[in-house]
Structure 1
């Protein structure tokens, strides 16, 4: 607000750094600048105070989508007056020389004008889209539509007004549709949660099955190794038995060979003894062949007596002795002849 002090025949005006003062005198506008301080004659003078700080305008306005659904758009706009003199010519920023307040509501008028334009362009953008598409990318769509529309408004540029920033905070449907969409989203989230739960259970089942398969494979591998071990032990026992049988067979063959050698040696010995006895008997018989009977009886009498059983007492008659001696001599001759 401009501070105006009155003195006799003169007045003094002072503004802040965010307010641009324009002094009107004699049909001419004299720019005094922001934060100006000057003397003026109150008679026939006007002072316009144009704000040069960033003005923040916010509004919530409705729009209808292509599928006839109503949405509310919440937007915030930053407006800046870049040409205060041009703005003072297009809008009434004059102040009361008595107290320094605006004589009208220029900022409210500017707000209504800017918001009405933004509402128009937002409604055009919403009418070209369905509710689903608008809710999906509504913030960007609305911001771009409002920004392009306001940039094309030439009368704003001619009035020295610049829309420095546009922010669309929210695009919301009516309460019933929003609750329905929330329920849909909740159901989708719940379904996704249930699906994740089922997936975790399926993964747990798969892991359990994999563990069981691994255990079964381990048991199968253990059984196979045990079978190989049993087969190897059986092969070792069989080989050991075969080796023992071969060893026993070799031992038996050696025993038989030794027995055979002993028998052969015994037979050879008996044969040699028999041959020696036959030679000795032949030699004796050859000696007995030319001997007379008394000498022959005397020679063989010890052997006859040795071969005969022991007799405690014996009575021999001449007849018995002559017959026996004759029979023995016949046997001896037959043996010598053979």
Structure 2
């Protein structure tokens, strides 16, 4: 946008480097150029300001396919005014001599021109194709075709517009048609997903079966080992019982022999002791008889009074202790009579 500074009887204008300005006075060209700066008088002056920088114009084109379906083609056209003097002659770029603001809306006019040319180029490039082919068109290739048509379009050349570039987004049909077109692909994708799911489940089932077989094999092997262990333990128990029985038989035999030997030795010892005891008793009996005979022989020539005295002495030795003894003549006489009678019998 130009900067206009007013002074008494004269005015100064200054423009940026991306703007072309044109100054006419009384129909004659006084000043022009990009980034121009000059003095002018307001009353006869006619000023035009044309931007020469790159600008973007959104476009949305609806194309009818050969199967009577509509396709939306969104894109952006990048352009610039390459011939600003020509554009100033064809489009009203006039500005106010006091504020520098456009008196009309020239950029809308230029944008409409670009949009119309782009719509015609897109329609010419896609008309006659079926819907599926249009939707599968390469955006870059379509952009090259449209740009080639825009460069050759006389409407843009007459305004001095040069196309810098063009790009398109994804081409889309109506929502209902697009959903209908997407349905086969979605069904195919769903089928692929279901197939992958079934395959995954099949693999999982196979793995579970393999795990089950492995567990069964392990259980069978474990049972076999347990059976072998039980058999080995039984064999060991039988062997141990047999060894114990043999040891018991040997111990019983040894104990029997030892008991027999002890019984035999005890019997022999008892017999020897019986013989010795009998002999001893016989010897003692003989000795007692011999002593009794000797005692009787010794008493044979003794007087009765002496025998009485000896008998009394023997009686005194065999009687318990007596503190006092009273003997009456009758008692003494009776005792002496008994003793004398016994002695006579002997």
TM exceeding 0.5:
yes
Match of 2:88 in 1: 88
Structure 2 contact 52–84 (Cα < 8 Å) conserved? yes
Deviations along 1:7-60, one digit per CA (max 9) or x if unpaired, are 222111122222111111342334533332211111221111010111111022
Q: 2:163, 2:181 → 1: CA distance?
A: 34
Q: 2:31, 2:52 → 1: CA distance?
A: 13
Match of 2:6 in 1: 6
Q: 1:134, 1:50 → 2: CA distance?
A: 38
The answer to whether 1:59 aligns with 2:96 is no
| 3-state secondary structure, aligned to 1:113 | helix
Q: 1:117, 1:13 → 2: CA distance?
A: 35
Q: 1:202 to 1:133 in 2, by over 3 A?
A: farther
Match of 1:118 in 2: 118
Structure 2 contact 9–41 (Cα < 8 Å) conserved? yes
1:32-47 equivalence runs, <5 A: 32-47=32-47
1:237-252 equivalence runs, <5 A: none
Match of 2:177 in 1: 177
Match of 2:131 in 1: 131
| 3-state secondary structure, aligned to 1:170 | coil
Match of 2:270 in 1: none
Gaps of 5+ in 1: 216-338
Match of 1:270 in 2: none
Deviations along 1:194-218, one digit per CA (max 9) or x if unpaired, are 2333455667789999x89xx9xxx
Could you say what the CA RMSD is over the residues aligned between the two structures, in angstroms?
2.8
Match of 2:189 in 1: 189
| 3-state secondary structure, aligned to 2:177 | helix
| 3-state secondary structure, aligned to 1:57 | strand
Q: 2:14, 2:75 → 1: CA distance?
A: 35
Q: CA deviation at 1:172?
A: 0.8
Q: 2:66, 2:79 → 1: CA distance?
A: 30
Q: 1:113, 1:140 → 2: CA distance?
A: 23
Q: CA deviation at 1:125?
A: 2.4
Q: 1:165, 1:195 → 2: CA distance?
A: 46
Deviations along 1:243-279, one digit per CA (max 9) or x if unpaired, are xxxxxxxxxxxxxxxxxxxxxxxxxxxxxxxxxxxxx
| 3-state secondary structure, aligned to 1:99 | coil
Match of 2:79 in 1: 79
1:187-336 equivalence runs, <5 A: 187-200=187-200
| 3-state secondary structure, aligned to 1:72 | strand
Q: 2:202, 2:29 → 1: CA distance?
A: 82
Give the TM-score of the pair, scaled to structure 1.
Answer: 0.57
Structure 1 contact 125–141 (Cα < 8 Å) conserved? no
1:135-154 equivalence runs, <5 A: 135-137=135-137, 139-154=139-154
1:12-51 equivalence runs, <5 A: 12-51=12-51
Greater mean deviation of Cα atoms: 63-72 or 190-199: 190-199
Structure 1 stretches (4+) deviating beyond 4 angstroms?
Answer: 198-209
Q: 1:173, 1:162 → 2: CA distance?
A: 31
Q: 1:109, 1:23 → 2: CA distance?
A: 22
Give the TM-score of the pair, scaled to structure 2.
Answer: 0.55
Structure 2 contact 143–168 (Cα < 8 Å) conserved? yes
Q: 1:63 to 1:30 in 2, by over 3 A?
A: farther
Q: 1:173, 1:37 → 2: CA distance?
A: 52
Match of 1:161 in 2: 161
Q: 1:144, 1:82 → 2: CA distance?
A: 20
Q: CA deviation at 1:76?
A: 0.4
Q: CA deviation at 1:138?
A: 5.1
Aligned residues: 216
Deviations along 1:59-118, one digit per CA (max 9) or x if unpaired, are 223111111101111110111112222221222211111321111111000100110111
